[in-house]
Structures are given as structure tokens and as C-alpha cells.
């Protein structure tokens, strides 16, 4: 219900349990995912992995329509994690704060 913005905040019943849970288990207040599952079995893309030598000699041509780079990381001092996407084709940057309970691996996967 919270994900769909249908949750009513009161001080009794289930909302009281939710408030206690948020106080005692901060992980329960992490952002939710509103994405509905969608299965697409048609592969309309290709994967090209250049060799190490091609990268070192700068002999790599990326002729795709869309070129994106992703990253997920965790700040060592603050413990905050985040994910980001850079779309080189449109020069757009997307950044997603993921809180303190997300691992670096989870941040990397989220960015992908």
C-alpha cells in the first residue's frame, strides 16, 4: 500500500507496528521498487566485448545507438551508497541514493 501511496498514517493498528518497525529496523524504510515485472524474450541487441589489446591500443569503435556507463559505490567515511548511469548518447546523468544498508554489489546491480 505504501508503494502505491495508499497508506494511511495513524497511531494504532498496523501503522503503529510500521512506526515501531521503522524505529527498530531502519532497513525497513528503504525505498521500494515500483517496477512491474515484464518479461521480454526477444533479443533485440548485441553484446560486443573488445579484447584487452583493443582497449589498450584504443582500437575500439562503439557504433551503438545508445552508449551508457553504470557505476555503484559506497562512501567509506559516510557509509552511504549510490548508483549512477551516464548516457553518453544524450549526455544525461542519473543518480540514485541507496542509503546505508545497501552493499556495493547491490548498488552496482541497481545501476545496471
How does pLDDT run along the chain (112 residues), one tens digit per residue?
A: 565 666 666 666 667 777 777 788 877 777 666 677 778 788 777 777 788 888 888 887 777 677 788 999 999 888 899 999 998 888 999 999 998 888 899 999 999 8
Give the span between the Cα atoms of 19 and 17, in whole angstroms.
5
Please answer whether residues 51 and 84 qualify as being in contact, where contact means their C-beta atoms are separated by less than 8 angstroms.
no
Give the span between the Cα atoms of 17 and 15, in whole angstroms.
5
Nearest CA to 109 out of 67, 81, 76, 80 is that of 81
How far is residue 77 CA from its own chain's centroid? 21
The cell for 27 is: 532497513
Q: Which residues pair with 84 in a beta bridge?
A: 71, 95
Give the span between the Cα atoms of 56 and 47, in whole angstroms.
19
Task: Report the predicted TM-score, pTM, of the whole model to 2 decimal places.
Answer: 0.47
Q: How many CB atoms lie within 10 A of CB 105?
A: 10
Q: What was the pLDDT predicted at 9?
A: 66
Amino acid at each position: 500500500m505504501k508503494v502505491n501511496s495508499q497508506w494511511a498514517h495513524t497511531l494504532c493498528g498496523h501503522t503503529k507496528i510500521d512506526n515501531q518497525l521503522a524505529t527498530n529496523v531502519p532497513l525497513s524504510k528503504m525505498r521500494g521498487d515500483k517496477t512491474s515485472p515484464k518479461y521480454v524474450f526477444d533479443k533485440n541487441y548485441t553484446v560486443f566485448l573488445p579484447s584487452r589489446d583493443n582497449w589498450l591500443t584504443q582500437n575500439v569503435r562503439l557504433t551503438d545507438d545508445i552508449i551508457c556507463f553504470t557505476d555503484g559505490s559506497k562512501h567509506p567515511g559516510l557509509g552511504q551508497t549510490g548508483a549512477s548511469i551516464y548516457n553518453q548518447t544524450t549526455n544525461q546523468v542519473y543518480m540514485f541514493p541507496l542509503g546505508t544498508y545497501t552493499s556495493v554489489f547491490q548498488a552496482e546491480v541497481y545501476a545496471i
